[in-house]
Amino acid sequence: NYIDISDLILLDMNLPDGDGLEIIKYTRETSSIPIIVLSAIDLEAYIISAINLGADDYLTKPFSLGILEAKIKRAFEKIVSSDLNLYKKDGLDFNFNENTFYVDNKNIDLTRTETKILYCLIKNKSQVITKELLFDFVWGIDDEFIDQNTLSVNISRIRNKLKPYDPIETVFGVGYKWKF
């Protein structure tokens, strides 16, 4: 419940009320918040499992506070400097730098507008992006010559191009959300 208001998770794997691996898995389904694991468990397979499930780093106890502080600073630097270049999930493979987009290994063509919409939604995945924010991001605040219906038409075109996947959720009366 507190993930949405947190900046970082320091997770002890030996919790009395839950398995640390399950917490990592659950957190990654809903958030990209950095997770640093602190644990007395130093088994290679366990560490690999934690990282494969989405932990950003893993420290075995005992550890120095200086090392922990450095890892926390690094995690925050990644948040600030993270820019969306590549996106790969299931059969979706997008490279925004090269402007190449694949669905199930088949190249799809996206217009500049569709690319901007897709970028904004994926960059803010799991968050509801209002129609107004998307409109301003794609066409600019002062562009009074664009019909409001244009956004929904472009969303519809993107959905058709991404079939059989359906990663764009409509939040009625508000906007859209990337749910993958």
Domain boundaries, given as residue ranges, for the chain: 3-81, 86-178
Pick the CATH number of 3-81 from 3.30.1490.20, 3.40.50.300, 1.10.287.70, 3.40.50.2300: 3.40.50.2300
pLDDT on residue 31: 74
Closest CA to 161 of 95, 98, 96, 91: 91
Q: Is the pLDDT of residue 67 over 50?
A: yes
The token pair that represents 4 in the structure block: 């949405």
For the chain, the three-class secondary structure string (H helix, E strand, C coil) is: CCHHHCCCEEEECEECCEEHHHHHHHHHHHCCCCEEEEECCCCHHHHHHHHHHCCCEEEECCCCHHHHHHHHHHHHHHHHHCCCCEEEECCEEEECCCCEEEECCEEECCCHHHHHHHHHHHHCCCCCEEHHHHHHHHHCCCCCCCCCHHHHHHHHHHHHHCCCCCCEEEECCCEEEECC
Residue with tokens 């605040």: 141
pLDDT on residue 81: 43
Model confidence pLDDT, tens digit, residues 85-144? 888 888 898 988 888 999 999 999 999 999 999 998 998 887 888 888 888 788 875 556
What's the fold here for domain 86-178? Arc Repressor Mutant, subunit A (1.10.10)
- Vertex 30: Cα angle to 27 and 36 (nearest 5): 30
Model confidence pLDDT, tens digit, residues 135-170? 878 887 555 666 778 899 999 999 999 999 999 999
Model confidence pLDDT, tens digit, residues 35-62? 999 999 999 999 999 999 999 999 999 9
Angstrom CA distances, 177 to 15, 116, 121, stand at 33, 14, 6
pTM equals 0.55
pLDDT on residue 167: 95
pLDDT on residue 114: 95
Q: Is the pLDDT of residue 1 over 50?
A: no
Model confidence pLDDT, tens digit, residues 29-42? 777 778 999 999 99
